[in-house]
Amino acid sequence: MKTLQIESSGGKGFYGAIIKKQAEIRRGGRGTFSRAGGRPNAARWSHVRYKGSLALKPAADAVEVKIKSPDRGDEARLLSSFLGWLDRHFGKQLSSVKIQYR
pLDDT digits (tens, 9 = 90+) for 7-39: 998 777 899 999 999 999 999 889 999 988 767
- CATH at 43: 3.30.310
Q: Which residues are bridge partners to 87 per DSSP?
A: none
State how far the Cα of 33 lies from the Cα of 83, in Å rounded to an integer.
12
What is the model's pLDDT at position 60?
A: 81
* pTM of the complete model: 0.91
Gap between the Cα atoms of 65 and 57, Å rounded: 7
The tens digit of pLDDT for each residue in 76-90 reads 999 999 999 999 999
DSSP letters spanning the chain: -EEEEEEETT-TTHHHHHHHHHHHHHHTT--SEEEEEEETTEEEEEESSSSSEEEEEEETTEEEEEEE-SSHHHHHHHHHHHHHHHHHHHGGGEEEEEEEE-
Q: What domain count does the chain have?
A: 1
**For residue 26, what are the domain limits?**
2-101
